Amino acid sequence: MKKAVATFCITSISIFLLYTAFKMNALPESFQGIASIIVKETMEKTGAINSVTAIVFDFRGYDTLGESFVLFTAVSGAAVILRKTAKSKEVTK
């Protein structure tokens, strides 16, 4: 039964991904124009020399702030879990 459920799930996900890939291939070229506009107008809108830095820190600033918060939380959690405490040192002796 578990094998049948796993096979169904994998097949369903594969069909969905293939369908999505073919539908994305059929998108009009107008979506590529947005990227070129952002790259061309970066200097005027932000004054940054590097386009990647301007996009990450100016256009997507809140998103970057959220990602850094998640990364900080993950590192802090890993440090708390993996740290050695005085009690664990006494137990090992």
Mean pLDDT of 61-80: 89
In a domain, 60, yes or no: yes
pLDDT at position 1: 85
In a domain, 34, yes or no: no
Cα 76 to the center of its chain, rounded Å:
19
In a domain, 92, yes or no: no
pLDDT at position 61: 74
In a domain, 33, yes or no: no
Mean pLDDT of 4-22: 93
Give the residue with greater pLDDT, 83 vs 43. 83
HSE of 22 in the Cβ direction (CA atoms, 13 Å)?
A: 5
55 in Cβ contact with 36 (< 8 Å):
no
Look at the alpha carbons of 69, 71, 77, 82 in this order and tell me if their dihedral is positive or negative: negative
In a domain, 91, yes or no: no
Range of the structural domain that residue 52 is part of: 2-28+39-85
pLDDT at position 55: 76
In a domain, 90, yes or no: no
**pLDDT for residue 27 is more than 70:** no
Neighbours of 74 (CB within 10 A): 10
In a domain, 9, yes or no: yes
How many domains are contained in the chain?
1
Mean pLDDT of 39-57: 78
49 in Cβ contact with 28 (< 8 Å):
no
